[in-house]
Chains A and B, each alone.
Chain A
Amino acid sequence: MKDSKTTKASEVRGEGMLTRFLRATELDVRVLGMVGALLVIWCGFDIASGLKIPNSGLFGGSFLTPRNIWTLLVQTSSIAVMTTGMVLVIVMRQIDLSVGSMLSMVAVAGAVVQVFELGPWLGVGHPIIWIAAVATCLLLGAAVGAFNGFLTAYLQIPSFIVTLGGLIAYSGVAFLLASGVTIAPMDRTYSIIGGGVPQAWLGPTWSWLLALATCVLIVLGILNSRRQRQKFKFPLRPVWAEVFLAATGSAIVLGLTKVVNSYPWPFMLIKDYAIAHHVTIPAGVSDRNGNAICMAGGQVVRCVDGLIYYTGYAVPVLITVVVGAAMTFVASRTKFGRYVYAIGGNPEAAELAGINTRMVTVKVFALMGFLTGLSSIIASARLDAATNSLGQSNELYVIAAAVIGGTSLAGGVGTVYGAMLGALTMQSIQSGMQLLNLPAAFQNIVVGTVLVLAVFVDQFYRRRVK
């Protein structure tokens, strides 16, 4: 009570610019903090890598180049997709340690279907093959997840134990299914989902159109919510804050599109494509060794005699964005999402309010399994192979991403976009250290430290606010 009085007094005058800005835009300080940390990490790695070997990045390094940003987004996809589900699991005071092993098991099952079962029967490249493989992965994932949820909710076995058992058991199943070997290659259409082939790249035109459509959606969304609040005469955000949010959102979308649209295809693929499609190759500029060179995003790249193609957004990145939007919708706009948060906040109150908490638990785990199935498709398609070690340790990265993104293990608190930012942060640190040629063991030390540090900062902030 005393607190609210003091805030009121400060509202009248002397309130800081930042506080007023945050109140008007209703932005979460912790998300802003995370975006800030991410920018610092990005710039830091660009500067550090530039000191080693100068390149065309924003600060003279190789981190903030279109090529690295593009790769970073594709690399983050698999973990980011799973972490959107893990947020809900953790918010509901549960945990799923089995996602890594489940990813391997499901990916191997999908690979067995396309390579050993349908491939020889229907003939390589038949369109049913990739559809069947995708359906297998998604359905198997959802079923295994629902099974985890059933054991947790109805047989009352703690989810930590259920999924710890799953972590061990599912990797065993994966090994048996694959007979311990690597299954490759995947169906041609299936591998598009991994983003490693030219067919998986949207190209500049479609990327720009998609970006514009997204900007329109952002503006429409803000207008719609404003109209709703007007209808019921609720307090409105100031107009400058609405404009600021729309402009910032659009700027991020357009800026990112500009970046991915300046990443050219690899040299060899352009050559293959030109030959296969009988493209007339214009005369280009050659470097000292006689190789053709082109400019791409301020960077000199090898190309085929002045012929250059740009990638634009890759399929797995689009899948991740769609999953992120869908899961944000589920978490904030549906009954199911509301119940997940209510159960996380006070399981007893939720039960007494008449919520079927057991059913919600099963659904959350089934959703987690479905998303793991989706990630298994992305991961195996990207590698163009499936092995029983494909998802090894993924559960730890997925949980770490959710936690770095502000999800509280005590339950009730966490956001989908925060967790996705967490996944991007972790992947940035890893790939940055790879650019600096630091050994893998060192990368593990840093990622582990960042996880603990992120939670410490978050706790510290929360205590200060309260």
Chain B
Amino acid sequence: MNAPLVEMRNISVSFGGIKAVDDVSIDLYPGEVVGLLGHNGAGKSTLIKILSGAYRRDSGQIFINGSEAQISNPRDAKAYGIETIYQALALADNVDAAANLFLGRELMTPWGTLDDVAMEAEARKVMARLNPNFKRFKEPAASLSGGQRQSVAIARAILFNAKILIMDEPTAALGPHETQMVADLIQELKRQGLGIFLIDHDIHSVMQLCDRASVMKNGQLVGTVNVKDVTEDDLLGMIILGKNPEKAA
């Protein structure tokens, strides 16, 4: 097999005296979806925020395509092709969809001013692919529904040719139809060779969407399993009891 797209080795981080992530190692290969499971406070989001540059690790190493990466802020992570879709749907509520799509990487005219028209055109193009019903390009993000906000957040990641996509509960705020849309999208991105970390509470959707699953409990890694080799009950056991299933090693 090729070198992993991402390898996080022996990552630790503490807040105050509490070890939020304790010596955790996970990896991700191209065209693969790895689920991250665990209770609230198990350290999933913290671990992933280290990869996306929002938090800084205390110790451990990150390798991207086999070479060590220095990620100390979100800008560094983006330079490595890491895009994150946050649980809280990190959009600036007061600016419109196109502005949110291009936030931090605006298209400029030759005179160094914002090229809003070109950005709106690009936004229309990418949204036509993702969510053809989306028409509210001129309205502030605050007036969008949960699903519309989610499509904007996902479009952001796609627009900039992410190689590594982190999705933190991408379907938490969505209805069934929109959830299906996200599932289809994940399959499509997988085919294009992206690596995806998927943080989710819903074991059912993890079983459906992921190739492997890493389970965390109290900041530590319980284990990583091939989803095909385990049952939903095995995963539940890992999450609740912190116990690896017997048949899967």
Contact = CB atoms under 8 A, between A and B. Distances in A.
Contact of A352 (B74, B106, B108): B74
A341 B86 contact: no
Given A338-B95, A342-B99, A353 B90 contact: yes
Contacts of A342: 92, 94-95, 99, 103
Contact of A348 (B90, B106, B113, B120): B90
Chain B interface SS verdict (over half): loop
Interface size class of B (residues with CB under 8 A): 20 to 34
Given A341-B95, A342-B103, A353-B104, A333 B117 contact: no
A231 B90 contact: no
Interface in A227-275: 228-229, 231-232, 234
Contacts of A232: 117-118, 120-121
A68 B171 CA distance: 62
Indicate the member of A231, A234, A349 with the most B CB atoms within 10 Å. A349
A342 to B, nearest CB: 4
Contact of B93 (A329, A345, A353): A345
Contacts of A1: 145
A232 B141 CA distance: 22
B187 to A, nearest CB: 26
A332 B112 CA distance: 13
B129 interface: no
B90 A338 contact: no
Contact of A354 (B75, B112, B117, B141): B75
A356 B217 CA distance: 34
Nearest to A329: B113
Contacts of B214: none
A344 interface: yes
Contacts of A11: none
A350 B54 CA distance: 12
A334 B94 contact: no
A344 B94 contact: yes
B80 to A, nearest CB: 12
Q: Is the interface of A mostly helix, strand, loop or mixed?
A: helix
B9 interface: no
Contacts of B112: 334
Q: Which of A1, A332, A346, A350 has the most CB of B within 10 A?
A: A346
B224 interface: no
A338 B68 CA distance: 34
Interface string B173-205: 000000000000000000000000000000000
A352 B84 contact: yes
A169 interface: no
A335 B114 contact: yes
A354 B91 contact: no
A352 B52 contact: yes
B90 A228 contact: no
A353 B103 contact: yes
Contacts of A412: 92-94
B111 to A, nearest CB: 9
Q: Which of B88, B93, B104, B145 has the most CB of A within 10 A?
A: B104
A231 B74 contact: no
Contacts of B247: none
A345 B94 contact: yes
Nearest to B86: A352
Contact of B74 (A334, A345, A353): A353
Given A348-B90, A354-B78, A355-B103, A231 B117 contact: yes
Q: How large is the interface on A (under 10, 10 to 19, 20 to 34, 35 or more residues)?
A: 20 to 34
Contacts of A117: none
A228 B117 contact: yes
A351 interface: yes
Given A229-B117, A350-B103, A341 B75 contact: no
A296 B74 CA distance: 64
B93 A354 contact: no
B183 to A, nearest CB: 22
Nearest to A229: B117
Contact of A234 (B104, B106, B117): B117
B42 to A, nearest CB: 22
A413 interface: yes
Contacts of B95: 338, 341-342, 345
Nearest to B75: A354
Contacts of B106: 335, 338
Interface in B90-131: 90-95, 99, 103-106, 108, 112-114, 117-118, 120-121
A111 to B, nearest CB: 37
Contacts of A345: 92-95, 141
B49 to A, nearest CB: 9
Contacts of A329: 113
Contacts of A229: 117
A353 B86 CA distance: 11
A343 B103 CA distance: 10
Contact of B90 (A333, A335, A349): A349
A92 to B, nearest CB: 11
| Centre residue among A232, A342, A352 by max chain B CB count within 10 A | A352
A346 B142 CA distance: 11
Nearest to B49: A352
Nearest to B139: A4
A370 B81 CA distance: 38
A346 B117 contact: no
Contacts of B52: 352
A334 B141 CA distance: 20
A55 B103 CA distance: 56
Could you say which of A343, A350, A413 has the most chain B C-beta atoms within 10 Å of its C-beta? Answer: A350
28 contacts: A228-B117, A229-B117, A332-B114, A333-B114, A334-B114, A335-B106, A335-B114, A342-B94, A342-B99, A344-B94, A345-B92, A345-B93, A345-B94, A345-B95, A346-B90, A346-B92, A349-B90, A349-B91, A350-B103, A351-B54, A352-B54, A352-B84, A352-B86, A353-B74, A353-B90, A354-B75, A354-B78, A413-B94
Given A334-B113, A345-B95, A346-B91, 12 more contacts: A228-B117, A232-B120, A329-B113, A334-B114, A335-B106, A345-B141, A349-B91, A349-B92, A352-B54, A352-B84, A352-B86, A354-B75
Question: Closest 4 A-B residue pairs measured CB to CB?
Answer: A345-B94, A345-B92, A349-B90, A412-B94
